[in-house]
Each structure stands twice: as C-alpha cells, then as structure tokens.
Amino acid sequence: MDNPGFLTRLKVGLGRSRERLTSSVGGLFSPLRAVDPAMLDELEERLLAADLGVAASRKLVDELKKRKFASSDEVLPALKAGMVDMLPPPQHHDGVKPWVTLFVGVNGSGKTTTVAKVGRLLKSAGHGVILVAADTFRAAAGEQLEIWAERLDLPVIRQRTGSDPAALVFDGIRAARAQGVDDVLVDTAGRLQTKKHLMAELEKVRRVAARELPGAPHSTLIVLDATVGQNGLVQCREFHQAVPLTGIVLTKMEGTAKGGIVFSIAEELRLPVEYIGVGEKGEDLLPFSPAAFVEALFEND
C-alpha cells in the first residue's frame, strides 16, 4: 500500500495552506480562518488509522472545524492538546496495605508478562510484593509466572491447573497480611468477554477478595493489546460490568500499533491508562504519559 509519511504529507498540506494564507491577504496581519477541509480529512484519516474509531475521530475533527486559526501551523498542536485533555489522569494509591491489584483481559493481551513487570517496578520502588498465579486455566500459565518470579526474586502463590482461582486470591491476601506485604498482584486467566460463565468466575474472584479484605481489589486493571481495534471498547465495557475497572495497561506499544482505542474508552468509561508495555523484558514497562502518548500517535512509522 502506498503510504507516504504522514508528516511529509501534512507538511506539504500545511505548506499549501500557508501559501494560500500569505498570498491572499498579503498584509501584516494573518486573519483567523477556518481549517482547510482537505487538512481535516487528512487528520481524520490519521486518527482512524490509529484506531481511534469513527466517533472519537469525528468528534476531535469537529472541534477543529468550529475553531479558527491564525495559521495552519496551529492546527496540529490544537488537536494534540484536545486529545491530551480527553485522557483522564491515573489513579492515586493511598498507602493501603496490602494493596490488591487484579489484572484482567482477553486471551493473549499480555497479562502474565504485565504482572511480572509491575511486580518488578513496585519492588524497585521498595515495595514488598506477592504474585498470585490465578490463571489456572491456560496450560503452563502458572509456570510462566513462576519463571518470572524466580527471575525477579519475588514470591509467587500458585496451585495446579484447574484449581479455583478465587481460592488462590484468598490465599494470596492471607499470605500478604501475615507477611506485611505492600502489594498483591493477581494474574487471572484470559477470557473473551462473550463467555458468560468465565465472566461470572471473575466476579467470584472479586467477591472473594472483597470478603477477605474490605476494599479489595483496590485496583482492577484491564490489560489491552495496543493492536486491538474497536473491540477494545467492548472488552472494557463488559469487563467493567463484571468487575469494576480502575484503569488500563496498554501492552505491545513497541510495535507500530498506536492503541488509539483508549480515547473511545476514556470518553465512555473515563478509564485512565496506568502503564504501557514496550517490550518483553522485565523493565519494559513505563508509567503512562498522555502527552508523550499523543505525540507518538503522530510519529511516523
């Protein structure tokens, strides 16, 4: 597919409208004018190509339509500012101990790797951390987390495949309280949001956690693959209904996917992105920065 760099195209476009601007009035003052429709189309396409979806893209572009700019150089910064504003700030941890975080999501989104990475991050910040391998469905999921735990020198609680994930969470919270641990990170089995019984199982995990420790789980993070399309919103909606979500971890951001679906999610559910995953290594996890994220969205591939 022929796809010249966006910035190049944009610059050409900008150049065109700039010429028009300066030649039209020819005065010292550049009057405020509406954005060139061709440029708006181009921007909308760029947003669509980043998985923002039709509604969110249109909304952002419509905002630009309403405004007038002294120069077309101001359009892109205005769009970016509007996008940054759409993203809610991350949640604050308020020192509750132990702080229980549930990681949920569809199959293959990167939950196990994310749990390990977050564990590493918290440990390096001086927290005591316990990992709970509550994915008792996928073959070798427990082993996978155990290998991570060894690498990172973190304790992990696991049982054999097929056991009750709620029981594991129960054990994890008990152990955390007994040992005075700060954070309990719970890996759960991947499930498609269309599987009613598996969503019910997740509800049970949450219920058991809340019963054992009032207020738990303190965070429930959905792990989203950045390559996901419009179904990402559906996933969040359905998981949110089963276990109220507090935030998002966006994984696999080191590829060419932009993860633009988080804008639609922010619009509808006000869920903040907490972390982004940028690789397969333990340290490949970054706290989310809305400005940097928006900037990356407009970078060339």
CB of 130 to other proteins, least distance (A): 19
Instruction: Please report how close the Cβ of residue 211 comes to other proteins at its closest, in angstroms.
Output: 28
C-beta of 24 vs 163, nearer to other proteins: 163
Which 3 state secondary structure label does DSSP give 245?
Answer: coil
Smallest distance from the beta carbon of 188 to other proteins, in angstroms? 15
Question: Would you say 217 or 260 has its CB closer to other proteins?
Answer: 260
Long-range contacts of 160-164 (CB under 8 A, 24+ apart): 160/136, 161/136, 161/137, 162/136, 162/137, 163/136, 164/136
Task: Give dist(CA 11, CA 19) in Å, integer.
Answer: 12
In single-letter form, the type of residue at position 233 comes to L
Instruction: Give the interface with other proteins as residue ranges (CB under 8 A).
Output: 1, 3, 45, 48-51, 53-54, 106-110, 138-141, 143-144, 146-148, 161, 192-195, 225-234, 252, 254-258, 260-261, 280, 301
> Is the dihedral angle over the CA atoms 223, 290, 296, 282 positive or is it negative?
negative
Task: Output the smallest distance, CB 30 to other proteins, in A.
Answer: 32
The rounded distance, in Å, linking the Cα atoms of 61 and 246 is: 28
CB of 195 to other proteins, least distance (A): 8
Residue 140 φ/ψ region, left for φ over 0, alpha for ψ in the -120 to 50 degree band, beta for the rest: left
Q: How far is the CB of 279 from other proteins (least distance, A)?
A: 9
Pairing of the two strands 99-104 and 183-188: parallel
Beta carbon nearer to other proteins, 218 or 258 = 258
101 or 144: whose CB is closer to other proteins?
Answer: 144
Q: How far is the CB of 142 from other proteins (least distance, A)?
A: 8
* Nearer to other proteins among residue 3 and residue 23 (C-beta): 3
Q: Which is nearer to other proteins, 131 or 176 (CB)?
A: 131
Is 37 or 89 the residue whose CB approaches other proteins more closely? 37
Q: How many CB atoms lie within 10 A of CB 232?
A: 26
d(CA 32, CA 187): 53
Answer yes or no: are the C-beta atoms of 113 and 168 closer than 8 Å.
no
User: Residue 148's CB: how many other CB atoms inside 10 A?
Assistant: 22
